[in-house]
Chains A and B, each alone.
Chain A
């Protein structure tokens, strides 16, 4: 199934993430073996934005956790900036579907948790937090507690926290899955801009086809149980993308049709 050869993609850039023949198997308490990811290979270059799309339970989140070092690979290898991932990695930023904020800390303190835990230089962390707060439109909300914020705002805080230490790669696991359609669109537009401005390498797991295509340089389509990479599709649009215009492009329609075709009947958007 990996005959589509991910290596054919234009990768003159330095590889940041190298996944080679990754297999992840979970065994349940009753002894059932569940193959979450099977023989996945993928190389992601510096500054690239890769979306992983697939139906629920196709192992896309598992793949992300393996990259972060939160889940162990059963076979195969994952390298981050050339070094093998063997345990939780500190050179990544992680954003979950739920914002996972500390409810007793205000917006700013939640973002700075990253700095406190790492023992980052205070002045630098503060400056970086200011930048990110301005960039994500959180200015004026620094003192608000998480429960005073909407889901979209909470997710912005989570994004700031993940970017504070300028990670080599930003891993996002369905970050906008719990948001309403309009907020989600707005967050997509913002993420596009933030990616452009920061130049961070991003891996985004999503099951929204349009989100996957609008944001990414490449869309990785996975098949369900066992999770295999079905196809990797290049998205040939420039890095500065207007939401409405991009979605109206005929190529967008073609790619979207191709992805939906691959996902087949098992997929229903959102």
Chain B
């Protein structure tokens, strides 16, 4: 009887402390997004210093305006051409997002097929690697020849750029599942689809998401590279035009919008990660909280 009562009280030593610790991360969940924003102060300070230096250099006339426009000029260009820039930004955004979405679907499908079939892996992996080594900018003209001057070749280049990190991280994620858990599920008589949906896929998400973040920024690059080669709209086209007219203020405006687009896409994926795999991010937060406290 004495045994039973001892057993029911979970370990006074290690388990009791853990119990208290278990409540802490839940309280912190709300403030996590806020904490992320607060953490932005360092890069923010850096950007402010950069702008200040930029302003100082142009304001004192150390560099000619056609080489480096002042922040004011750039800002004015942006405001004056808001509609023009907006239209072109929209085109590039659509190309990027469609390209990224296609890359996610195809990339994850290929990763899944390679995980489940050794033959597919042995056939496809070297080919994918080979395709990755070919510089995308070198093949982009070919897509223009094949697909014309519309959005299609840009989307294809964006897909090609974003595809590789998604396949690699998707595969790494699917392989990261604990083999003992797979042994367990085989003794549970579960179908392989059930095991995939309930065990393999969720286990792969943390790794997949790190690939998605890399892929998102590459998709922007892909779309712009596609536009460089042959386009009459999009931010890549604006940059080429501005470059031809030595309109550096316009060039800078387009560059800034492009970087903001990449950052925004990255942030969107970060938010999706918080919602889809809270267990993963909460673990990281507890980790840092543990070292801080």
Q: Is the CB of A190 within 8 A of B22?
A: no
Interface residue? A149 (CB, 8 A): yes
Contact of B7 among A94, A102, A193 (CB under 8 A): A193
Mask, A188-203, CB within 8 Å of B = 1, is 0110110000000000
Q: Is the CB of B279 within 8 A of A104?
A: yes
Most chain B beta carbons < 10 A, residue from A89, A141, A150, A193: A150
Most chain B beta carbons < 10 A, residue from A90, A117, A189: A117
Q: Is the CB of A152 within 8 A of B19?
A: no
Main secondary structure of the interface of B (DSSP, over half): helix
Q: Is the CB of A145 within 8 A of B282?
A: yes
Interface residue? B198 (CB, 8 A): yes
Q: How many A-B residue pairs have CB under 8 A?
A: 108
Q: With the chains together, A141 CA to B228 CA distance in Å?
A: 58
Q: Is the CB of A189 within 8 A of B185?
A: no
Q: Is the CB of B195 within 8 A of A148?
A: no
Q: Which residue of A lies closest to B278 (CB)?
A: A104
- List residues 179-232 of chain B with CB under 8 A from any CB of chain A: 180-181, 183-190, 194-195, 198-199, 202-203
Interface residue? A138 (CB, 8 A): yes
Q: Is the CB of B188 within 8 A of A114?
A: yes
Interface size in chain B (residues, C-beta < 8 A): 40
Q: Is the CB of B188 within 8 A of A118?
A: yes
Interface residue? B122 (CB, 8 A): no
Q: With the chains together, A192 CA to B4 CA distance in Å?
A: 10
Q: B293: which A residues are within 8 A, CB to CB?
A: none
Mask, A147-185, CB within 8 Å of B = 1, is 111101100000001000000000000000000101100
Contact A94 B3, CB 8 Å, known A100-B178, A104-B277, A117-B194: no
Q: B178: which A residues are within 8 A, CB to CB?
A: 98, 100
Interface size in chain A (residues, C-beta < 8 A): 42
Q: With the chains together, A117 CA to B8 CA distance in Å?
A: 29
Q: Is the CB of A148 within 8 A of B21?
A: yes
Q: A183: which B residues are within 8 A, CB to CB?
A: 11, 14
Q: Which residue of B lies closest to A93 (CB)?
A: B187
B12 to chain A, nearest CB (A): 10
Q: B25: which A residues are within 8 A, CB to CB?
A: 148
Mask, A114-158, CB within 8 Å of B = 1, is 101110000000000000000001101100110111101100000
- List residues 52-110 of chain B with CB under 8 A from any CB of chain A: none
Q: A69: which B residues are within 8 A, CB to CB?
A: 187
Interface residue? B6 (CB, 8 A): yes
B130 to chain A, nearest CB (A): 27
Q: A141: which B residues are within 8 A, CB to CB?
A: 10, 19, 22
Q: Is the CB of B199 within 8 A of A152?
A: no
Interface residue? B9 (CB, 8 A): yes
Q: With the chains together, A113 CA to B182 CA distance in Å?
A: 12
Q: Is the CB of A149 within 8 A of B18?
A: yes
Q: With the chains together, A192 CA to B3 CA distance in Å?
A: 10
Interface residue? B286 (CB, 8 A): yes
Q: A98: which B residues are within 8 A, CB to CB?
A: 178, 180
Residues of A within 8 A of B (CB): 68-70, 88-90, 92, 94, 96, 98, 100, 102-104, 113-114, 116-118, 137-138, 140-141, 144-145, 147-150, 152-153, 161, 180, 182-183, 186, 189-190, 192-193, 242-243
Residues of B within 8 A of A (CB): 2-4, 6-11, 13-15, 18-19, 21-22, 25, 178, 180-181, 183-190, 194-195, 198-199, 202-203, 277, 279-280, 282-283, 286
Apart from A68-B183, A96-B184, A118-B189, list 6 A-B contacts with CB within 8 A.
A70-B187, A100-B178, A117-B190, A137-B7, A145-B283, A149-B15
